[in-house]
Amino acid sequence: MKKIVQWLFAVYWILCMLPYFIPGLNQLEPHIGFIPFTVWYIFLVMTGCSVMIYIFSKSDSIWDTYDYEENADAENK
């Protein structure tokens, strides 16, 4: 699972770099509403990554918290 997570992050990084290498991603059309493509593209990619990170932060199998004892203590109390 952790490996998949790391690869997903690599995909994010590649998507952020792509407009430099693909001219079609470095243009103002098509607009979404009033927002030019270069702006909404990068914000869309960042939104996807933010959601992904939020999901990671909810999963012990992806991001361990290393506070097992504290959880147990709190429950006992």
Would you tell me which residues interact with another protein (CB under 8 A)? Answer: 9, 12-13, 16-17, 19-21, 26-28, 33-36, 38-39, 42-43, 45-47, 49-50, 53-54, 56-58, 60-61, 63-71
* Minimum distance, C-beta of residue 43 to another protein, in the bound complex (Å): 7
* Minimum distance, C-beta of residue 4 to another protein, in the bound complex (Å): 13
- Sequence-distant (6+) residues with CB within 8 A of 45 are 12, 15, 16
* Minimum distance, C-beta of residue 35 to another protein, in the bound complex (Å): 6
Give the count of alpha carbons within 13 A of 38, CB side only. 9
- C-alpha span between 33 and 38 (Å, rounded): 13
